[in-house]
Amino acid sequence: MNSSIRLPASLAAVIVVACSAAWAGTEPLSAAPLSLQSLIQRALVQAPRQQLADDNVELARIQRDSMRAALLPQIGAEVSQTRQTINMAASGFNFPGLPTLVGPYNVFDARLKLSQKVLDLARSSEIAGAGYAIDAAQAQADVNGEQIASNVALSYIQVLAGEQVLASAQSDMALADDLLTLARDQKTAGIASGVDVARAETALAQDRYAVSEAQTRIAQARLQLQRLAVLPMEGAPLLAGRLDGEPGATPGLVPELGVTVEQALNTARASRSELRASEAAMRQADAQLKAAHRRRLPTLSLVADYGLSANTPGENQEDTYRYGAVIDLPIYSGGSLRAEDAAAANRIEQQRLQMEDLQQQIEQDVRLALVTLANSVEQLRAAVSARDLAQRELDLARDRFTNGVANNVDVVSAQASLARSRTQYVAAAAAEQQARVNLAAAQGRARQFDL
């Protein structure tokens, strides 16, 4: 006598959903479903990594302003009151009748000072280089944003794939429960044997394990997405996207996008922030080389001061002033100027080599993304076909078993084949969407990607 309790398939599905929520450790968030673009924009604003990159841009601006200040008027004030003595003999004044020590006496001085750089070509080149450093920092912040957007999109797709895998596993478990009920009914009717029942129970146990495994994976994927998108960790976010878009009907390279390799490469060359960062770094290195050359040139400054000179603020006071020009010309620097020239020239060569390597890397990224996307489209077509055929095979095997024509070996085998084909379909759909993300990233368009 079999004392096991059999639950209806609908009730079993409800229990599985409840277990899934418990396994995830949280209840779904009450907010509306989140789109991929909303999470990307959230991450671009709130992710600490992006905030650090934005801070680097602001730091580059501050450094540029600090350099620029050297070419602006410098105004200062100085007030002093001293009491002093002078050793006249120590100063070279040793005459008969002249006292050796003069003082003590008071000296008061209050003065306004002004200086202005009129010509400093080296500093001008340094300021230009600092401006290019801002461009490079901004481009690098954009590169960082592209990476964040790509990671959020890939994680988003992983969560969607996990949800579909879990739904498929739950559907397989419900089907296995129905087949177990059928096997027991067939055994009671004398059509099936105990082996058929045991085989169906084994299949149900395996499906339970698959559900548990899917719950673990989706919990991991959700936590990763919550971290990347700076979402609260307590709760399972509801996502608005879907993976079940069918592949396009037109064969060829990236048929859905209608893009050629050359078009994709042109887009990448115009949009990749890495190229803009490299170009700005190259211009910065060139400005540094010009600055190194111009340090051999003279600089011209205007200086002036005006103030009150006295013994004390109210004793022997007189207005005094000074103004003039200062020309500074380096003659010998111990080889430092030549070393700066060599270092600046070396930086330019390094940037040139890095840019050449980056251009090749971008072309490789684009071509690989296009090929991968084209292949993933074909794989998705094959996965759709395999899933449909596996469903048909299971329907036929189930009809034969229900009518007592055969045992449930074919049914269990077809059920396992359907489970595999469903998993392959979800994996293929996720791979196609991930390939699209990679193509968008290769073209510098990850921040605009959406499902």
pLDDT in tens, the chain (451 residues): 343 334 343 334 333 334 433 333 334 444 688 999 999 999 999 999 999 999 999 999 999 999 999 899 999 999 999 999 988 888 788 888 788 888 899 999 999 999 999 999 999 999 999 999 999 999 999 999 999 999 999 999 999 999 999 998 998 899 889 888 988 888 888 877 888 889 889 989 998 999 999 999 999 999 999 999 999 988 888 898 777 654 443 333 344 456 788 999 999 999 999 999 999 999 999 999 999 999 899 999 999 999 999 988 888 888 999 999 999 998 888 888 889 889 989 999 999 999 999 999 999 999 999 999 989 989 999 999 999 999 999 889 888 888 877 777 888 888 889 888 999 999 999 999 999 999 999 999 999 998 8
User: Would you identify the CATH topology of the domain 9-46+120-295+330-448?
Assistant: Outer membrane efflux proteins (OEP) (1.20.1600)
Q: Is the peptide bond before 298 cis (omega within 30 degrees of 0)?
A: no
- The residues, ordered by sequence, that sit 6+ positions from 33 with a Cβ below 8 Å of its Cβ are 238, 239, 240
433 in Cβ contact with 157 (< 8 Å):
yes
Give the whole-angstrom CA distance, residue 109 versus residue 289.
44
Which residue blocks in 229-335 are alpha helix, DSSP H? 261-271, 273-294
**Phi, psi (rounded to 5 degrees) for 105:** -145, 160
87 in Cβ contact with 41 (< 8 Å):
no
- Sequence length of the chain is 451
Give residue 325's Cα distance to chain centre: 52
* Closest by Cα among 209, 259, 255 to 378: 255
CA distances from residue 3 to 6, 188, 201, 339 in whole angstroms, order as listed: 9, 14, 14, 91
Residue whose pair of structure tokens reads 């307590």 in the numeric block: 234
H/E segment holding residue 65: helix 48-68
H/E segment holding residue 219: helix 194-228
**Which runs of E-coded beta strand occur in 282-343?**
299-310, 318-328
Give the whole-angstrom CA distance, residue 433 versus residue 428.
9
Give the whole-angstrom CA distance, residue 241 versus residue 160.
7
Residue whose pair of structure tokens reads 């230009």 in the numeric block: 128
Q: Is the dihedral of CA 179, 180, 185, 189 positive or negative?
A: positive
The count of other CB atoms within 10 Å of the CB of residue 428 is 24
Quick one: pLDDT at residue 31?
Answer: 64
Quick one: pLDDT at residue 405?
Answer: 74
Q: Domain segments of the chain: what residues?
A: 9-46+120-295+330-448
CA distances from residue 417 to 5, 29, 170, 253, 425 in whole angstroms, order as listed: 28, 35, 15, 31, 12
DSSP state of 408: T
The count of other CB atoms within 10 Å of the CB of residue 107 is 14
Q: Are strands 318-328 and 299-310 parallel, antiparallel or unpaired?
A: antiparallel
401 in Cβ contact with 411 (< 8 Å):
yes
Quick one: pLDDT at residue 9?
Answer: 39
Q: Are strands 74-87 and 299-310 parallel, antiparallel or unpaired?
A: unpaired
